[in-house]
Chains A and B, each alone.
Chain A
Amino acid sequence: MSGIVGGKNHRGSGLIADLGTDGQILTSAGSGNRQIFEDAAGGGAWTLIGTSVASSSASLTQTGLDSTYALYAIAGADLKPATNGATMFFRVGDSSGIDSGASDYSYYSTNVGTGDVGAPHYATNSNSTDNIRVGHAVGSSAEDATSFLIYLNRGTSYPNISGTYSNQDNASPGNVTGGYTIGQREAVITLDRVQVLCSSGNIASGRFTVYGIKHT
């Protein structure tokens, strides 16, 4: 019977259940009924928009964001700057490119951490700047890197983000530091791309991934 799918009342009979279409899954239709093929439930699923791996890269950019999703999740994993102590910048843009004007963004970012000397617990913010901070004083040594998970509300208002980050700083050995970041693009734009880069120097390694989040 290998390879034969039978319903409850046909077990062992050799009958094949109704075939589904591409992407459907075989699932129960309730007590006493035959299993049937149905579309997979999609509620709340994260859909991969794209991912990039840094290799001594000036920036990592992902396009393809549109009104399909009002909310996106953006993950930075194990991002290591080439320059010790670099700050990680986040930016957004539209079909004409990434926005990097001197007053394009506002943000507030906390920074707390461990360490006996220079242990941070402070915040940095700006009402008019060219980026949103998603990592502070990130170390470039073997033990150092930064990661973040932020949510981007693309919506119809000013695109805005909220999320958390953590990294090893540029002390030796690196202290773990991190915090909460909120920020926004100071204009309504037809956002279709996001970017991460360092304040100076390249991103030596690490991954940048964007997901669209379904509401239903």
Chain B
Amino acid sequence: MARTRIENGIEVALTPEEETARDAEEKAWADKAPERELEAFCDKRRSEYPTIEELIVALYDTDDKAAIEKRRADVKKKFPKPA
């Protein structure tokens, strides 16, 4: 079914050239899905991992170290690697 767009409130059918361009655009977006998924995965883990400062402090305290290890494990479980 031919696609339409709305311009200034009026429905207009896409021209053959616009259809081709839109198909290419959607394919390009789909092709980059794995890349986006990996980027989002890294962002999510990074945002919840302990900070470098926390890691350094934990080097000198056994309890802190255990807590840090648990936090990292929990984050990994919460945000598993993409397949």
Contacts A122-B40, A200-B30; is A58 near B9 (CB within 8 Å)?
no
Q: Which of B1-38 contact A (CB under 8 A)?
A: 3-9, 11, 14, 18, 21-22, 25-26, 29-30
A54-B6, A100-B21, A208-B6 are known; give 6 further A-B pairs, CB within 8 A.
A57-B5, A60-B5, A117-B78, A120-B44, A121-B47, A199-B26
Select one of A63, A119, A130, A200 contacting B7, CB under 8 A: A63
Q: Does B53 contact A (CB under 8 A)?
A: no
| B39 part of interface (Cβ distance < 8 Å) | yes
Chain B hits for A123, CB < 8 A: 43
Shortest CB-to-CB span from B16 to chain A, Å, is 14
A-B contact pairs, 17 of them (CB 8 A): A50-B9, A52-B9, A55-B11, A56-B4, A57-B5, A58-B22, A63-B8, A100-B21, A118-B44, A118-B78, A118-B79, A119-B44, A120-B43, A122-B40, A122-B44, A130-B25, A199-B26
Tell me whether A199 and B29 are in contact (CB under 8 A).
Answer: yes
Q: How far is B4's CA from A57's CA once the two chains are assembled, in angstroms?
A: 5
Task: List A contacts of B18 (CB < 8 A).
Answer: 58
Chain B interface size band reads 20 to 34
The residues of B with any CB-CB pair to A shorter than 8 Å are 3-9, 11, 14, 18, 21-22, 25-26, 29-30, 39-40, 43-44, 46-47, 78-79
Near B by CB (< 8 A), chain A positions 75-109 give 87, 100
* Cβ–Cβ contact B47 & A57, under 8 A: no
User: Interface 1/0s, chain A 115-134, versus B by CB < 8 A?
Assistant: 00111111110000010000
Closest approach, in angstroms, between the C-beta of A202 and any C-beta of chain B? 7
Q: Is A59 part of the binding interface, using a Cβ–Cβ cutoff of 8 Å?
A: yes
Query: Is A7 part of the binding interface, using a Cβ–Cβ cutoff of 8 Å?
Result: no
